[in-house]
Amino acid sequence: MADPQPGSSDLGPAFVRLAQVVAQLRERCPWTRALTHESLLEYLLEESYEVIEAVEAGHTGAEDSRELSGELGDLLFQVLLHARLQEETGNFSINDVVSGLTAKMIRRNPHVFRPDGSLTKDTTQDTAEIERAWDAAKKTEDPRRSNPFEGIPASLPALALAAKTQERARRAGLPVPAKPETLPAFDGGDELGDLLFEAVRQAAERGIDAEAALRGAVRRFTAQGPGTAV
């Protein structure tokens, strides 16, 4: 196995202590003890968006990265809480989560790791090859998956859902047909944002829910099936 990277050598004791703190909160704090998987979901969503906000606000540099560090900690707390709830029922522990994720990353990235977890001698710079290997590993993990759109969370925001669906289609070699009435040309994210903002404005004027409309478009596309999405 490769040696730990700089800054990670003390992660073991620190992570164990954090898991202990979460367990002690569950045992001794009435508010934390009352939490369930379902009641935690609103916090999981909130903390995820706060991480996104910290990144989008540019809190990634050396001078102001503490805010991002704190938000990542809050998100990690949610993961540990969910794992602790499962450990209390005897299903799995945070150790199983960490071990499973480690094994998955090794398995899905054969350009970096050998099956035993040691580093490969050479790696590829071909992102298409990396995606193919990742998708092949996923199929091996669950041979029942025959639809490239399986596993995409239906609760994703509509824009994220559309983007993920189109990405999966592209990786599966399925065409995403352009409509005859194409968008006006745009040069960057700001112009695209303005176009989307205007589309939402026009939708509201006509009493149309833009979020629901985009979800409907995704459903119509995926309903065509892997062999007929043309």
Q: Sorting pLDDT into bands at 50, 70 and 90, what band is 226? A: low
15, amino acid identity: F
Distances (CA, A) of 18 to 12, 23, 32, 50, 94: 10, 9, 15, 21, 11
Is residue 146 scored above 90 in pLDDT?
Answer: no
Amino acid at 26: R
Give the mean pLDDT of 24-44. Answer: 97
Q: Scanning the structure block, which residue is given the tokens 């205007």? A: 198
Mean pLDDT of the chain: 90
- Return d(Cα 68, Cα 53) in angstroms, integer: 9
Percent of the chain with pLDDT over 70: 93
pLDDT in tens, 161-218: 999 999 999 888 888 888 777 778 888 989 999 999 999 999 999 999 999 999 999 9
CA distance 84 to 77: 10
Token pair in block for residue 140: 């091996």
Give the tokens for residue 51: 């991480």
- Bridge partners, 113 (sequence order): 119
* SS3 assignment, position 192: helix
**Distance between CA 103 and CA 141 in Å, rounded?**
12
Contact criterion met (CB below 8 Å) for 215 and 152: no
**Would you say residue 230 has pLDDT above 60?**
no
CB 229 within 8 A of CB 169: yes
Give the Cα separation of 21 and 141 in Å (integer). 34
Q: Which residues of 45-61 are buried (b: 16+ CB within 10 A; e: fewer)?
A: eebeebbeebeeeebee
